[in-house]
Structure 1
């Protein structure tokens, strides 16, 4: 029996179990929500008869905590970042998932399935440049610091996370040692010393749309950027390229707030959204990689090679260490803000 038949049988069986008339799914809104509606929500409604009430939020965990603490949970599935998933799971804000209902671990990228979450997409922070402005392509973060060979301003995200890792990579620290180095005062000092070298050439970005705007206007020569933004700019005809060497990736996950009255239907929705057929639509429209390893074979090769999860691109990348940032994020962000304000 092929996997498509098995998936159909599982869904029909689950539909008979999960009898909720509607479930509320909350994501980060914007273009992502529009794509989720096409890739996940409408097809799920059609197959199961369960209506999706689509909401959005800014990722603030306080809203989930209040709902759980006051036993007034009215969200059934919520999209969370990697650090928020870890924190929320440890604080008891999310239901434990029955991952056997979601899928087989071997079908997914490492880190996709956890006690409280199931990864829905892989996103990266990568270097990007406008090929109409640069005749020679940079190859990594060391070139980002080379203002002689590549004159002009650069842009980085105004925050410690990703920026400190990038600085250490530019200073020659291997991926495997980044968080060991950042765990010491000497290592943090080293990252800030490296940032000092290009501080006068930096134009900070704070919103995801800004890096592509800075490149298009010629304000900056190179920038860090979310890979989905680069993908969208390319689709719009802009001659912008991503450099995958030294890119940093993370996984956004679905989680079920503790106390959801529709856990069975919520798990059914999560399993459905992680099917390669649904992930294909999501990935090719949004430009962020799929957590399902079987999705790539369904994609046009010209699309697949532009994704952060392309094997050739992923092998040049490093995963974010969310445990590190949960433990050290507050102190490092405070130091970064003080440094940036000088």
Structure 2
């Protein structure tokens, strides 16, 4: 009897150890942009994947950039299994060997994807845009163009802007009369960069800078600004879920893709790659749009999106009239140089 009990105890101990080991191995460490987007991703992407596979997630938020990812690679101690990236960072990270190559064949029918939404190292998770928004209860006259954002006489008050030259420079040029289709041609010249900073000088004293996407709608809610640059999903989320009287101005929206990728050296790379395939299915993309106003990068997912929700998406025809796709290659090549000047400009 004692022998049997000892054997059973040993077996239970082994099973318990194996259970803990499996559980530890099947938790993906993922870094996202946090806030409303992460909450939506949990419902549309993470929870269904966990239900289907038993693989869990631990999440961490950041505001982009490759500094920490690069440091992990240099130290050969990668603690992230999955990373949410902006396009120019996805390009640079892939070029610098910070991301693992992704097998496109695992996605199935790749012709369903919007061109440019599958790369060697990453797959687009959604289409989002940078817009600006205002509080309808505080502005008697509604701003309608990006020019209005820079018009302090007609619309006095503080402006919220992300503490980054990206999109801010493009808007400055458009507000200064550059056609959206010519923005990057102008911005690629020293004179164009000078012109953008000169336009930004006109509102510099009225700018409140934000660094986290969640800060933008909060600045608006607190009355710290009369209008703010923001991610479209954050404004839609605040208006629909929190009943904030916010309205989006779509003129000169700068749209982009977010990307899922697996860092080089990720400890659970296979599970992370399986997650990307799962999150890239039409239903998953459509479900994300249900929880936050970001558009699917896969064409056959559009039919699964609620028709009322389509009007809130960056790709809706009415919202897309003067849209500008961010030139990720331009920013991948020029971000360091322009950002250095931007940092100096901030202190002047």
Could you tell me the TM-score, scaled by structure 1's length? 0.84
Does the alignment pair 1:257 with 2:279?
A: no
Q: Which moved more, 1:189-198 or 1:129-138?
A: 129-138
Q: Structure 1: how far apart are the matches of 2:27 and 2:95? A: 25
Question: For 1:77, which of 63, 82, 85 is the aligned residue?
Answer: 82
Q: Structure 2: how far apart are the matches of 1:87 and 1:185? A: 23
Equivalent runs, 1:117-156 vs 2, <5 Å:
117-156=122-161
Contact kept? 1:23, 1:51, Cα under 8 Å: yes
Contact kept? 2:86, 2:259, Cα under 8 Å: yes
Distance 1:239 1:90, change over 3 A: same
**Counterpart residue number, 2:274:** 268
**Counterpart residue number, 1:6:** none
Q: Which moved more, 1:122-131 or 1:217-226?
A: 217-226
**Counterpart residue number, 1:11:** none
Contact kept? 2:29, 2:82, Cα under 8 Å: yes
Contact kept? 1:119, 1:254, Cα under 8 Å: yes
Q: Structure 2: how far apart are the matches of 1:89 and 1:200? A: 38
The structure with the largest alpha-carbon Rg is: 2
Does the alignment pair 1:38 with 2:43?
A: yes
Q: Which moved more, 1:113-122 or 1:67-76?
A: 67-76
- Report the alpha carbon displacement of residue 67 of structure 1 after superposing the two structures with TM: 4.6
Contact kept? 1:276, 1:294, Cα under 8 Å: yes
Q: Structure 2: how far apart are the matches of 1:74 and 1:206? A: 24
Distance 1:93 1:51, change over 3 A: same
Q: Structure 2: how far apart are the matches of 1:200 and 1:73? A: 41
Distance 1:290 1:331, change over 3 A: same
Distance 1:115 1:213, change over 3 A: same
**Counterpart residue number, 2:286:** 280
- Report the alpha carbon displacement of residue 183 of structure 1 after superposing the two structures with TM: 1.2
Q: Structure 2: how far apart are the matches of 1:216 and 1:260? A: 39
SS in 1 for 2:260: strand
**Counterpart residue number, 1:191:** 196
Q: Structure 1: how far apart are the matches of 2:70 and 2:163? A: 27
Contact kept? 2:164, 2:339, Cα under 8 Å: yes
- Report the alpha carbon displacement of residue 189 of structure 1 after superposing the two structures with TM: 0.9
Contact kept? 2:35, 2:214, Cα under 8 Å: no
Distance 1:267 1:224, change over 3 A: same
**Counterpart residue number, 1:5:** none
Q: Structure 1: how far apart are the matches of 2:60 and 2:223? A: 33
Moved over 6 A (4+): none
Could you tell me the TM-score, scaled by structure 2's length? 0.83
SS in 1 for 2:300: coil
Distance 1:56 1:219, change over 3 A: closer
SS in 1 for 2:202: helix
Contact kept? 2:262, 2:272, Cα under 8 Å: yes
Does the alignment pair 1:159 with 2:164?
A: yes
- Report the alpha carbon displacement of residue 270 of structure 1 after superposing the two structures with TM: 1.0
Distance 1:109 1:135, change over 3 A: farther
SS in 1 for 2:58: strand
Give CA-to-partner distance per residue, 1:167-199, whole Å, 9 cap, x none: 001011112211111111111111111112222
- Report the alpha carbon displacement of residue 315 of structure 1 after superposing the two structures with TM: 4.1
Distance 1:110 1:203, change over 3 A: same
Distance 1:286 1:25, change over 3 A: farther
Q: Structure 2: how far apart are the matches of 1:200 and 1:32? A: 31
| Unmatched tracts of structure 1, length 5 or more | 1-19
Q: Structure 1: how far apart are the matches of 2:128 and 2:60? A: 19
- Report the alpha carbon displacement of residue 256 of structure 1 after superposing the two structures with TM: 1.7
Q: Structure 1: how far apart are the matches of 2:206 and 2:73? A: 46
Question: For 2:55, which of 51, 56, 67 is the aligned residue?
Answer: 51
RMSD: 2.5
Q: Structure 1: how far apart are the matches of 2:163 and 2:65? A: 19
Question: For 2:340, which of 325, 334, 340 is the aligned residue?
Answer: 334
Q: Structure 2: how far apart are the matches of 1:283 and 1:27? A: 20
SS in 2 for 1:250: strand
